[in-house]
A = this chain, B = another copy of it.
Amino acid sequence: MNESNASPDAETVIEHVLEHIDQHIDQSLERLFGLLKIESISTDTAFQGECQKAAQWLVDELSGTGFDANVHQTPGHPMVVAKYHPAETRPHFLFYGHYDVQPVDPLSLWHRPPFEPAIEDTDNGRVIRGRGTADDKGQLMTFIEACRAWHAVTGSLPARITLFFEGEEESGSPSLIPFMEQHRELLTADLALVCDTGMWNADTPSITTMLRGMVGEELTITGPSRDLHSGLYGGPAMNPARVLTRILADLHDDQGRVTLPGFYDGVEPIPTEIKTQWDSLGFDGQAFLAEVDLDTPAGEKDYSVLEQMWARPTCEINGIDSGYTGEGFKTVLPSRAMCKISFRLVGQQDPDKIRQAFRDHVAERLPPDCTASYHSKDGSAATVMSLDDPAFDLARQALTDEWPNAAVFTGGGGSIPVVGHIKSILKMDSMLIGFGQDDDAIHSPNEKYNLQSFHKGIRSWARVLAALSD
């Protein structure tokens, strides 16, 4: 293809960009593999150097594509900000993604090393296997590769673009709010684009318009000053594991509702039009649960599986540890019992009030000679997008042009706290488009990203950029 002969006509340009993407998909994959091999586990300080490496990798990678890219150090893992700001006035987008990944344990359940990615053939098509393929390295690379193709074909990009990558998304983003507050000018644009969500199904793209918020707490109950022999002390000595199980068991009633006083303040029924759209999606809750060997919805009675996931708040135990848990028996009466717990929030639920309600719940159940200590994960409220912005319909059409089925507006059960911060600090709305699938096993062993998600994801962003920049 001779680029100099390309017509400036928008429709022709996008065709050439898509063709370029198809022709260079192997190189795109090679670049993605380079990023996937970096063990950027943000929650474990042992991998601090790997997070630095991932940030530098992005800067190096972007420097050749027209972006002015820089690593910004923080008290935690670094931020990467890259700017393409042409002289002419164009719409300005802030694209957000994260280069950090979840821990990989239990390692024994992976069928290949998590940081040695590979293409695998599966019954559901070809996939890219490895930690971070879907969450979020594969996703953020769809946008970078779309920009790269656009730049290769036209010598420019269709919009002002600021890329913003963080490395602490999987560990509570402690540096995010201070950084955004300090760099308001650098980061503010017309609209944020975020690629950290999924498709409705393998053929149906989705724009996520509702997201749950989150409050996380690590609670440690300490009883006796040391581990005791459960025979010698069992009976008179208070067992902190017994205290903890009481605290945790009391968090739900037998209807699946969370018992904390005031927990449901700010939780409203979803608007009828949204509920109608969700009902029309033909979601099979039974089949969704059957995929992971479950059959009975465990959330609040009287709500569909989709509502339990997208529109209802939850309380989940993410981890518990106490006493001896190795092979065989050890008749210990443990000194400590620890749990990690998270609440997913919807509507107007206030993260601070819910954290306080949980701590009150603990205090009420704490025997006088036990103590409770906390390690908090920052709270974030739920976010609900305003669909009045015409960009939502334009993007929906662009996605519909790329995929077999028309794009849909959906909710999301997971939390993407940055969306709340973009709203509160930068006063911007976000548009959430992602290409993950339900079976990607993010946060689990054998995480994967469909090869089609990656390839058509790049093409999708090229189309969305074209549509929003017209």
Contacts and interface: CB of A to CB of B under 8 A. Distances in A.
Nearest to A335: B292
Interface string A100-132: 001101000100000000000000000000000
A330 interface: yes
A107 to B, nearest CB: 12
Given A233-B413, A235-B413, A320-B321, A171 B227 contact: no
A47 to B, nearest CB: 11
B321 A325 contact: yes
Contacts of A379: none
Contacts of A300: 235
16 contacts: A42-B328, A103-B330, A171-B328, A224-B294, A225-B292, A225-B293, A227-B443, A235-B299, A241-B248, A241-B317, A244-B320, A295-B368, A318-B329, A318-B331, A318-B334, A330-B443
Interface string A293-313: 111111110000100110010
Contacts of A172: 328-329
A239 interface: yes
Contacts of A238: 294, 296, 298
Contact of A326 (B103, B241, B244, B296): B103
B317 A323 contact: yes
Interface in A270-316: 285, 288-289, 292-300, 305, 308-309, 312, 314, 316
Nearest to A240: B317
A206 interface: no
A323 B338 CA distance: 12
Interface in A210-253: 212, 214, 216, 218, 223-239, 241-242, 244-246, 248-252
Nearest to A321: B325
Given A248-B242, A312-B235, A325-B320, A228 B444 contact: yes
Given A226-B292, A292-B228, A324-B103, A316 B234 contact: yes
Contact of A309 (B109, B232, B328): B232
A382 to B, nearest CB: 11
B318 A330 contact: yes
B329 A323 contact: no
Interface size class of A (residues with CB under 8 A): 35 or more
Interface in A360-387: 367-369, 377
A294 B237 contact: yes
Nearest to A293: B225
Contacts of A42: 328
Interface in A324-372: 324-334, 337-338, 340, 342, 344, 367-369
A43 B321 contact: no
A220 to B, nearest CB: 11
A319 interface: yes
A326 B102 CA distance: 12
Contact of A293 (B43, B233, B369): B369
B229 A294 contact: no
Nearest to A230: B316
A443 B321 contact: no
A415 B231 contact: yes
A336 to B, nearest CB: 10
A236 to B, nearest CB: 4
A445 interface: yes
Contacts of A66: none
Nearest to A327: B44
A56 interface: no
A324 B105 contact: yes
Contact of A248 (B105, B249, B414, B442): B249
